[in-house]
A and B are shown apart, each in its own frame.
Chain A
Amino acid sequence: MFALRALRRFLPALAGLVIASAVHADTYEVKLPPELGTSPKMCDYAPCAEVMPGATSFSERKGQPPFVEAYKDEGGQKKLLGYVMLSTDITDTPAYSGKPVVTLIGMDTAGKFVGVKILKHSEPILLLGIPESLLIKFNNQYLGKFVGDNIEIGRSRPDENIIGLDAITGATVTVIAQNQVMMTSGTTVAKQVGILKPVIRPQAKFPPATGTPSWSELVADGSVQRLTVKPEEVGLKGDGPYMDLWFGYLNQPAIGQAILGKDGYASLMSRLKDGEHAIFIIKPAGMDSFKGSGFVRGGIYDRVQVRQDKDAFTFRDLDYVNLWSVAAAGAPAFSESAIFIIRGKGFSAAYPWRLVFLGNKIDKETAAKTFANFDKEYWLADKYLEGGRPVVIKPDPTWLKVWKERAVEIAGFVVFLLAISAAYASRDKLVRRANRQRRWPVNAFKYTGWVISIGFVGFSAMAQPSITQVLTWFHSLLFQWKWELFLSDPLIFVFWVFIIVTVFIWGRGFFCGWLCPFGSLSELLFRLGRLVGLKRFQFQLPKPLHDKLKWVKYVVFFGLLAVSFFSMGLAEKLAEVEPFKTTFLVGITNRSWPYSLFAAGLLGLSIFTERPFCKYLCPLGASLAMPTTFRWFGLKRKDECTSCKACAKGCGSQAIDAKGNIDQRECMLCLDCMVLYYDDHACPPLAQERKRRTKAGQPLTPINGKGYFIPIHQVPAEPQKKGATA
């Protein structure tokens, strides 16, 4: 009843704090003016002056991707101070929420970051738990740093020329994404304005054309590539693709002549200067134009772009040449076509490049447009390059870098999980070595697991699984699965793979009872309470009340799941019913008092009653309990368990019902009942048989797998041989 009273008291305070936090979170899911993403006068809708100190005026959007120039008045004349860019004009990198953090970035003419401002984010972790000020503090680390530096999350490595930034503990994925946003935005604009020089790559040399390949041959060897965008990828409905483009590189003689014919190829090459390249694009199908309906003479083709590594090549009207037909036999009919000239010494056909279609995704609910791009890689085959393809070392994806950096930690964690699993898998041997009085053969492993789980997994690695991850996975499964998102946090990823596997093998009890950091902390406090003489104050709720209250956690879980379909943000806020963030991520002493009191209250209560949160409130436990119905291997029971209550009385989880069956959904797999199962002094049917045999002078045979002494069968004595008497 104390638990109920405590909950009744603290929940309103918690709800109040949730609302208060939402008020304080300035940029969480704020509604930005729609003109911000489209208006030429971007700075009329964004606080550009805040990221460019000293600026008095700003230009309209220019360039592709767009940015604005910032000026200050100097003696009545405008002096260029730097550049301001909106991150979502340049990259659609999603953060943990799956949505981008909309950031306004200021960079001076020397390429140094001078201002960063978050305009909007959708990161629930920054709404509750981690203050938004930490993200601002994180962003401030960029100030004064040069855009061309190698800036990464983690420690600085001067020998590798890498400048490290301090991450935000508990929001690693968010800051990794934010670093990508900052560096991509900065370098893209810096290259456009000439702060960063394009990488000069060795030019390709082509062997002379020896034949004219057909369209199907060009497709087969990758000389023409296809970039398709489905309507649903841009938030539209419709039959057929939204955009279906075939494209290829024309300077290569065999490919160019196949596409344009010999005369056409010769004509095109005669127009190109040294270091210029031509590509073609045709659109056999699609709902929209790849040239862009808003294109005007003198403007930029704002829907297609070529990118090679970090260099982007855009096309103006002077870079356009008509393509009337494709000569290659078997080429598809098309409704739109173009030849574009790449003018930039940085481009080389010897290396891979990508055609990028710059699109907009329309939000169905708000009709707001968000930037989205789609690309397809192109790389000439060996046979089209003299000496074949050069060796290209592609940089590791961000998630892989994280895995490599934390390799030792990950390996240690995996070893820990496997060791505890091996111990549990050997439970039959362990419980046979233990007895009611001497349980260390089991507890040594369990307590070791708890201590490592609390210290290493919980406090150090902050890999406490949470219901918010279940909700994120559930939504991702239905809506948009991104492996990169889940792989960005390796320990959580490994833990979840492990949890899913073990839930189906042994049930939730293995994770909840042996490995959950909060659960371990909770039960360890209970054990410590007993050790220091508080046993007389320790209690269990009456079984009928327990049997009612245990459903609360399922209600909490289904409630969160239902809310998440309407608002993931609200579900994340309500998931504060888990005290995990307060305990491990932020720290009990670092949060405002209602959160601290809630977590401390639950832990304090755990000293007097075993695992109150796990039994009655934990939505994560509930979500794992449901598939536990189908766990493969359960604990053993005997026929006598229907009437004998010995195990049920000692069951800390109160998981044994009146019929002697174990409710696997509630069982924490402490193995106390299994210790009794083989204990011939504690298990009543066994003890009874032991006494009977002792009295009858019969030997005590070993106990078999079913928990009984191996039966003694009377063997008829052999007839005595005559004369064999002594």
Chain B
Amino acid sequence: MTIADRNELRQPAYGEAHGLPWLVAEIRDHLWPWAGKGQPARKAIQGAGFALAIAATLAWVMAALGRLEAGAIIGWWFGWSVFEVLVRLDAKPYVKEGPWWGRLYRRATVMDMICYVSFKNLLIGAVLFIALKAAGVLIV
């Protein structure tokens, strides 16, 4: 065990799943920051999160249509990432402890969540950014 205090351990809603359902739930967990059924979450943050996520999605769509500059989409993605930290701290306040294929989760501190969201969104953003650039709709 790499954690001394077992009170720090957390179990996500899908924690009991195994095999493919667990993997699907894990992927969904990375892509969907909001709380699922039976998970407590503050409605104001949930609502604002939904609104901002729609705006960020629209920004990516506009970028895909060639109507948004590279700097603007980076700005939008950064803005959304900041808010995603708040949404996740409220709805899914845990991060994985140990290897990605493991089943150990721990309570997320603010820094844990900043690291998690920034790294995840850097990868997602880079993939989308490069894809749009390769498609020729985003000019740098």
Indicate whether A and B interact. Answer: yes
- Which of B112, B126, B129 is A629 in contact with, Cβ under 8 Å? B112
Question: Provided the pairs A636-B2, A637-B3 are in contact, do residues A232 and B74 lie with their beta carbons within 8 angstroms?
Answer: no
- Closest-by-CB residue of B relative to A662 is B2
Minimum C-beta distance from B130 to chain A (A):
8
Chain A interface bracket (under 10, 10 to 19, 20 to 34, 35 or more): 20 to 34
- Contact B74–A638 (Cβ < 8 Å): no
**A626→B98 CA distance, assembly (Å):** 14
The A383-434 residues at the B interface (CB cut-off 8 A) are none
- Contact A478–B126 (Cβ < 8 Å): yes
With a 10 A CB-CB cut-off, give which of B1, B74, B130 has the most chain A CB atoms: B1
- Contact A634–B66 (Cβ < 8 Å): no
- Which of B4, B70, B139 is A659 in contact with, Cβ under 8 Å? B4
- Which of A232, A632, A636 is B133 in contact with, Cβ under 8 Å? A232
Number of residue pairs A-B, CB distance < 8 angstroms: 82
Tell yes or no: A125 within 8 A of B by CB.
no
**A637→B5 CA distance, assembly (Å):** 9
- Stretch touching chain A among B46-54, B85-93, B115-123: B115-123
Chain B interface bracket (under 10, 10 to 19, 20 to 34, 35 or more): 20 to 34
The A461-510 residues at the B interface (CB cut-off 8 A) are 477-480
- Contact A627–B119 (Cβ < 8 Å): yes
- Contact A661–B3 (Cβ < 8 Å): yes
- Contact B126–A637 (Cβ < 8 Å): no
Tell yes or no: B95 within 8 A of A by CB.
yes
**A237→B132 CA distance, assembly (Å):** 13
- Contact B119–A231 (Cβ < 8 Å): no
- Contact B136–A638 (Cβ < 8 Å): no
- Contact A642–B140 (Cβ < 8 Å): no
- Contact B119–A639 (Cβ < 8 Å): no
Give the chain A neighbours of B1 by CB distance below 8 A. Answer: 636-638, 706
Tell yes or no: A630 within 8 A of B by CB.
yes
- Contact A642–B126 (Cβ < 8 Å): no
The B96-140 residues at the A interface (CB cut-off 8 A) are 96-100, 111-112, 114-116, 118-119, 126, 129-130, 133, 136, 138-140
Tell yes or no: A530 within 8 A of B by CB.
no
Question: Provided the pairs A478-B126, A633-B98, A633-B99 are in contact, do residues A626 and B2 lie with their beta carbons within 8 angstroms?
Answer: no
| In the complex, per-residue mask of A632-660: 1 if CB is within 8 Å of any chain B CB, else 0 | 11111111111000000000000000011
**A626→B122 CA distance, assembly (Å):** 12
**A236→B139 CA distance, assembly (Å):** 8
- Closest-by-CB residue of A relative to B113 is A629
- Contact A661–B5 (Cβ < 8 Å): yes
- Closest-by-CB residue of B relative to A627 is B119
- Contact A660–B4 (Cβ < 8 Å): yes
Summarize A's interface: helix, strand, loop or mixed.
loop
Give the chain A neighbours of B129 by CB distance below 8 A. Answer: 478
Give the chain A neighbours of B4 by CB distance below 8 A. Answer: 637-642, 659-661
**A66→B6 CA distance, assembly (Å):** 73
**A193→B133 CA distance, assembly (Å):** 42
- Closest-by-CB residue of B relative to A638 is B4
Give the chain B neighbours of A478 by CB distance below 8 A. Answer: 70, 74, 126, 129-130, 140
- Contact B136–A230 (Cβ < 8 Å): yes
- Contact A659–B133 (Cβ < 8 Å): no
The B1-17 residues at the A interface (CB cut-off 8 A) are 1-8
Give the chain B neighbours of A630 by CB distance below 8 A. Answer: 95-96, 100, 115-116, 119
Minimum C-beta distance from A151 to chain B (A):
35
Tell yes or no: A154 within 8 A of B by CB.
no
- Which of A632, A640, A659 is B98 in contact with, Cβ under 8 Å? A632
Tell yes or no: A665 within 8 A of B by CB.
yes
- Contact A627–B115 (Cβ < 8 Å): yes
Tell yes or no: A235 within 8 A of B by CB.
yes
- Closest-by-CB residue of A relative to B3 is A661
**A689→B140 CA distance, assembly (Å):** 65
Tell yes or no: A31 within 8 A of B by CB.
no
Minimum C-beta distance from B69 to chain A (A):
9
- Contact B136–A626 (Cβ < 8 Å): no
Minimum C-beta distance from A198 to chain B (A):
38
Give the chain B neighbours of A565 by CB distance below 8 A. Answer: 71, 74
**A627→B123 CA distance, assembly (Å):** 12
Tell yes or no: A364 within 8 A of B by CB.
yes
- Closest-by-CB residue of A relative to B8 is A661
- Contact B126–A477 (Cβ < 8 Å): yes
- Closest-by-CB residue of A relative to B129 is A478
**A625→B7 CA distance, assembly (Å):** 24
The A217-244 residues at the B interface (CB cut-off 8 A) are 230-232, 235-237
Question: Provided the pairs A477-B126, A565-B74 are in contact, do residues A231 and B136 lie with their beta carbons within 8 angstroms?
Answer: yes
**A477→B128 CA distance, assembly (Å):** 12
- Which of B126, B130, B139 is A237 in contact with, Cβ under 8 Å? B139
- Contact B5–A642 (Cβ < 8 Å): yes
Minimum C-beta distance from B6 to chain A (A):
7
- Contact B112–A480 (Cβ < 8 Å): no
- Contact A632–B5 (Cβ < 8 Å): no
Give the chain B neighbours of A477 by CB distance below 8 A. Answer: 126, 130
**A630→B117 CA distance, assembly (Å):** 12
- Closest-by-CB residue of A relative to B138 is A232
Give the chain A neighbours of B130 by CB distance below 8 A. Answer: 477-478
The A154-190 residues at the B interface (CB cut-off 8 A) are none
Give the chain A neighbours of B112 by CB distance below 8 A. Answer: 629
| In the complex, per-residue mask of B57-88: 1 if CB is within 8 Å of any chain A CB, else 0 | 00000000010001100100000000000000
Question: Provided the pairs A632-B98, A642-B4, A661-B3 are in contact, do residues A232 and B139 lie with their beta carbons within 8 angstroms?
Answer: yes
**A282→B7 CA distance, assembly (Å):** 72
- Contact A364–B139 (Cβ < 8 Å): yes
- Contact B2–A629 (Cβ < 8 Å): no
**A554→B71 CA distance, assembly (Å):** 23
Minimum C-beta distance from B110 to chain A (A):
11
Minimum C-beta distance from B63 to chain A (A):
13
- Contact A635–B119 (Cβ < 8 Å): no
Give the chain A neighbours of B136 by CB distance below 8 A. Answer: 230-232
**A637→B130 CA distance, assembly (Å):** 42
Question: Provided the pairs A639-B4, A659-B8 are in contact, do residues A626 and B119 lie with their beta carbons within 8 angstroms?
Answer: yes
Minimum C-beta distance from B111 to chain A (A):
7
- Which of B7, B8, B118 is A626 in contact with, Cβ under 8 Å? B118
Give the chain A neighbours of B70 by CB distance below 8 A. Answer: 478-479
Give the chain B neighbours of A235 by CB distance below 8 A. Answer: 139
- Closest-by-CB residue of A relative to B125 is A478
**A431→B75 CA distance, assembly (Å):** 48
- Closest-by-CB residue of B relative to A550 is B111
Minimum C-beta distance from A352 to chain B (A):
27
Give the chain B neighbours of A627 by CB distance below 8 A. Answer: 115, 119
**A660→B96 CA distance, assembly (Å):** 18
- Closest-by-CB residue of A relative to B97 is A634
- Closest-by-CB residue of A relative to B71 is A565
- Closest-by-CB residue of A relative to B102 is A632
Offer 10 A-B interface pairs, CB within 8 angstroms, sorted by A: A232-B138, A235-B139, A477-B126, A480-B140, A565-B74, A627-B115, A637-B3, A637-B4, A640-B4, A661-B4
- Having A637-B1, A661-B3, A661-B8, one finds 8 other A-B pairs with CB under 8 Å, namely A232-B136, A627-B119, A629-B95, A630-B115, A632-B99, A633-B99, A659-B8, A665-B115
The residues of B with any CB-CB pair to A shorter than 8 Å are: 1-8, 66, 70-71, 74, 95-100, 111-112, 114-116, 118-119, 126, 129-130, 133, 136, 138-140
The residues of A with any CB-CB pair to B shorter than 8 Å are: 230-232, 235-237, 364, 477-480, 565, 625-627, 629-630, 632-642, 659-662, 665, 706
Q: Give the 5 A-B CB pairs with smallest separation, nearest first.
A: A660-B4, A641-B4, A634-B2, A637-B4, A632-B99
